[in-house]
Amino acid sequence: MQATSPAGSTLAYSLVPVPLFRLDLAVWVLRRRAENLIDRWDGRSYRRVLALEGGAVDVAVTQIGPPEAPRLRVVVAGERIGADTRPAVTAALERLLGLRIDLTEFERFAAPDIHLGPLARRFRGMKPPRFPTLFECLVNAIVCQQVTLTLGIRLLGRLAELYGLEAKGGADQARAFPRPEDLAGRTPEELRLQGISRQKARALIDLASAVAEGRLDLERLAAEPDDFVVDRLCRLRGVGRWTAEYVLLRGLGRLHIFPGDDVGAQNNLKRWLETQAPLDYEGVDRALAPWRPYAGLIYFHLLLDRLAATGAITVGDRAGA
């Protein structure tokens, strides 16, 4: 269904995720902190501005079916909505919210395990998210290096507010995540004014310029093995092992990857395993050995566990139920 108003056009349709599915849990794994201005959540609807070929659109997603028989209502608003809008939005949402991922095998694997079983049952319906582009994933990782996640999320919001496309005709003034061409012409001094270090600013501008000018095709990495991806990414300015593994998990959906250098994830793992021993990169690898095929899913489940412990989410909520 498509309608036109003086402010622009709207498109409404439904999506059916692979069950089980809980929109609230998927969104919180994606947004990570309440300060996230790009992936917005009001307790019922998920909203994000997407930069498409014809311009930016504001997308709102609401779950209207229970986790066991999920159905999502999608409403898209923008100045230019055409025949290619729905498939582009759907592709982005399937990636962002993990709509087509079937976790049946994971649930079977986890069920009898005394450690993993309770964790998996507690967050049933969570689907692993992915950033819509590897460029966005890399920018997220670079900005969040060596700062608190809360600060990193705030800095990313500033970049969107300053340089992202606005969805004219949308419900509010939210903006899309900046495209490569939105950041390529910036100067390190300009980004420094937003609280981003000079080293990170140079890395972001180099990355954006390489992608915008066609010298770097990040999406081609999707067909490459893990070691190749890590090696290729680590040749980029400002990218090390943690950033590369972050991209493997959150950008390419490699669900066996647990970014072992992630200090927050190390602490989450320690709490879950109830161990006082410090966990370095090798220690994380040893600790996850019994569950290695699903290490990335454990990473996401432990993030939700931590968010629940801080009161950011209520596990008893059943979106759409």
Give residue-wise pLDDT tens across range 266-305.
999 999 999 888 899 999 999 999 999 999 999 999 999 9
CATH assignment of the domain containing 203: 1.10.340.30
pTM recorded for the entire structure: 0.93
Q: Which of 232, 251, 270 is the last residue of a domain?
A: 251
Contact 49, 175 (CB under 8 A): yes
165 falls within a domain: no
What is the DSSP secondary structure assignment for residue 176, as one 8-state letter?
P
140 and 219 together in one domain: yes
Q: What is the mean pLDDT of residues 54-81?
A: 95
Q: Is the confidence at residue 201, as pLDDT, over 80? A: yes
Task: Give yes or no: residues 140 and 232 share one domain.
Answer: yes
| Position 305 in a domain | no
**CB contact at 8 A, 245 and 259:** yes
Are 9 and 94 members of one domain? yes
- The per-residue pLDDT of the chain, averaged, comes to 93
The C-alpha atoms of residue 315 and residue 255 are separated, in whole angstroms, by: 23
Q: Tell me if 59 is assigned to some domain.
A: yes
Task: Establish if 318 belongs to a structural domain.
Answer: no
Give the residue, 136 or 276, on which the prediction is more confident.
136
In the chain, the percentage of residues whose pLDDT exceeds 90 is: 88
Q: How much is the pLDDT for 6? A: 39
Q: What is the pLDDT of residue 320?
A: 41
Task: List, in sequence order, the alpha helices (H) in the chain.
Answer: 23-31, 85-97, 104-110, 116-122, 134-143, 149-163, 180-183, 188-192, 198-212, 226-233, 241-246, 263-273, 281-287, 295-309
Higher pLDDT, 109 or 1: 109
Radius of gyration of the chain (CA): 19
Task: For residue 241, tell me if it sits in a domain.
Answer: yes
Domain, as residue range, for 183: 134-144+176-251
pLDDT of residue 170: 56
The residue to which tokens 């003086």 are assigned: 6
pLDDT, residue 8, reads 64
Nearest in space to 119 (alpha carbons), one of 127, 110, 128: 110
Of 150, 154, 135, 163, nearest to 239 by C-alpha is 135
**Which pLDDT belongs to residue 318?**
45
Question: What single DSSP character describes residue 55?
Answer: E
Could you give the CA distance from residue 83 to residue 54 in angstroms, rounded to a whole number? 11
Higher confidence at residue 186 or residue 276?
186
Query: What does the CA dihedral 80, 81, 83, 86 come to, rounded to 10 degrees?
Result: 140
Is 207 domain-assigned?
Answer: yes
Q: Are residues 75 and 138 in the same domain?
A: no
193 has a pLDDT exceeding 50: yes
CB 61 within 8 A of CB 22: no
What domain count does the chain have? 2
pLDDT score, position 168: 79
Which helix (H) or strand (E) element contains residue 13? Answer: strand 8-15
Same-domain pairing of 197 and 241: yes
Q: Is residue 120 part of a domain?
A: no
Q: Please, how many CA atoms are within 13 Å of residue 109, restricted to the half-sphere of its CB?
A: 12
Predicted confidence (pLDDT) at residue 258 exceeds the cutoff of 80: yes
CA 64 to chain CA centroid, nearest Å? 22
Q: Which token pair is 285?
A: 């690898």
How far apart CA 102 and CA 117 sit, in angstroms, is 17
Quick one: pLDDT at residue 46?
98
pLDDT for the residue numbered 271: 94
Residue 224 lies in a domain: yes
Confidence (pLDDT) at 169: 64
Q: Report d(CA 54, CA 220) in Å as an integer.
A: 23
Quickly tell me which residue has 């504001």 as its tokens: 58
Confidence category of residue 171, pLDDT binned at 50, 70, 90:
low
